[in-house]
Homo-oligomer: A and B are copies of this chain.
C-alpha cells in the first residue's frame, strides 16, 4: 500500500459514508459511484491490504456472511434488520462477560448479533 489510488479512496470513502458494515459486493457497488470502472478483484485486493494495515476489519455475520467495516471503532454489537437487510453498528456493550463465562473458562473476546426491525422499518 505505497501509492494512493482513486479506487482505494473510493472504497474507504464508501465505508465511511455508509457508516455500517457491508458485503464486498455492496461495497463495490457503492464505491463505483466514485470510480465506475472499479473491479471486484481490486476491491478484494484493497480490502486485504487495508485489513493488514489495521484500517478495516472483516467479520462473518451469521445470516449475511462476510461483511467489512472500519477498524477504528470501539467494541460494539451488530443489529440486523430483517426487513431492510441492513446491519447497524450499535455502540456500547450490554453483555456481562463475567456472568456469561462458565467456571474455569477464560473469555478474551466476544461478538453479539441482534435481529429484528430497525426504526425506519417499524415507522
A interface, CB within 8 angstroms of B: 59-63, 65, 77, 79, 81-82, 88, 90, 92, 94-97, 99-119, 122
Closest B residue to A111 by beta carbon equals B113
> Main SS of chain A's interface residues?
strand
Considering the chains assembled together, what is the distance between the CA atoms of A118 and B107 in angstroms? 9
Considering the chains assembled together, what is the distance between the CA atoms of A108 and B81 in angstroms? 10
Residues of B with C-beta under 8 A to A117: 105-106, 108
Considering the chains assembled together, what is the distance between the CA atoms of A81 and B105 in angstroms? 9
Which residue of the partner chain, among B62, B88, B94, B115, contacts A60 with CB atoms under 8 Å?
B62
* Contact indicator B107/A115 (Cβ below 8 Å): yes
Residues of B with C-beta under 8 A to A63: 60
Known: A62-B111, A110-B114, A111-B62. A119 touches B95 (CB 8 A): no
Residues of B with C-beta under 8 A to A102: 79, 88, 90, 119
Known: A60-B62, A62-B59, A95-B94. A109 touches B116 (CB 8 A): yes
The 5 closest A-B pairs by CB, nearest first: A104-B119, A94-B100, A94-B99, A107-B116, A60-B62
